[in-house]
Amino acid sequence: MYDMVILQGISATFVTNLFGATITVVTPLILASLGEIVVERGGMLNLGVEGIMLVGALGSFIVSLTTGSLLLGFLTGMLLGAVAGLIHAFLTITLKADQVISGLMITLLGTALSAFIGSDWTSRSIDGLDKMYLPLVGRPLSNIPIVGEALFYAMPTTFLAFGLLPVTWYGLFRTNLGREIIAVGEDPEAADTVGVPVFHIRYGITIFGSVLAGLAGAHLILATINQWSTGMTSGLGWIAVALVIVSRWRPFYAVAVALLFAMIQALQIRIQSVQLGDGLIGGVLLDPAFIAIYPYVMTIVVLALASRMESENRLGRPTALASAYKREE
């Protein structure tokens, strides 16, 4: 029988702070995973999310520092994401390169470039983005216990991320463009036959997803960390790709799982202010150093379950995912 674990100091304030930290951590995951859902629904696979986030973060940081404008910083992160998406699209759609190899190349290139260029910026910091109330209703709703302040008094990019959730769902499943994207991801040849612009759609969604990945990187450094360090994304791009798979390419499911990942990461920091017992739970399982590995263990478990579901034909992935399309003459 495990030793008795006594938690001292856990209160409504602790839970409130934990939820607030969760919302902060989850924002880049939401942005990156929603973009990747749209990309993969159209049959494209972009494993360059991690590299794009790094490049977007560094680019936005440098521009914000040199110009003094956070807005230009965010726009730079999105622009660099668009460039990376265009490169990936050109290689995989026009040149028919393997999508997995191209995505990995972008991640490796983004990681190397950000480490090389960023070495001169590691000692500098920036005044990050300020929180704001959600327009019109934020101030009164922020008084809701536990969740009010976290949901209604946050970064503008956090509001944007959560606002994109219903927009992405509606756009994919309730509009003609969304149906065309899904059709291209399921059977591009049949979609092409009925006049759907397969190549244009694939270019568009690849760039769109990369723009959101670049924005996720910009948010991470301009709204959260405020200081550049090599490899600062710490695998968030890979976690976003895993979220897409475990959610079975559904936006709301992806955000729900992202919140779980983010809460574990937030717990790693917040638990240090709580006095724990010395038993198995308090001394080991809730040790901050041990909690740090939970998101990555969960990522491995998620991918293992997804692999099993795929072998049993229960995953429901887009049929043409990661498959190059070549129009018949």
CATH number reported for the structural domain that contains residue 203 in this entry: 1.10.3470
Distance CA 132, CA 71 (A): 15
320 located within any domain:
no
In a domain, 181, yes or no: yes
Classify residue 200: in a domain, yes or no: yes
Distance between CA atoms of residues 293 and 188, nearest Å: 40
pLDDT for the residue numbered 1: 39
Range of the domain at 24: 12-311
Sign of CA dihedral 260, 312, 104, 106: negative
pLDDT band at 314 (very low <50, low <70, confident <90, very high): low
Helices (H), 234-293: 236-246, 251-270, 280, 288-291
**Does some domain include residue 84?**
yes
pLDDT of 270 higher than 80: no
| Confidence category of residue 15, pLDDT binned at 50, 70, 90 | confident
285 vs 288: CA distance, rounded Å: 8
Look at residue 323 and tell me if it is in a domain: no
Residues 86-94 have a mean pLDDT of 97
Q: How far is CA 91 from CA 49, 102, 149, 191, 291, in A?
A: 16, 7, 45, 22, 39
Question: How many whole angstroms separate alpha carbon 228 and alpha carbon 55?
Answer: 11
**Contact 225/235 with Cβ under 8 angstroms?**
no
Within a domain: residue 109? yes
User: One-letter amino acid identity for 253?
Assistant: Y
- For residue 263, the model assigns a pLDDT of 86
Report d(CA 15, CA 23) in Å as an integer: 12
Residue 321 maps to a domain = no
Mean pLDDT, range 39-44, rounded to an integer: 96
Q: Enter the pTM of the model.
A: 0.88
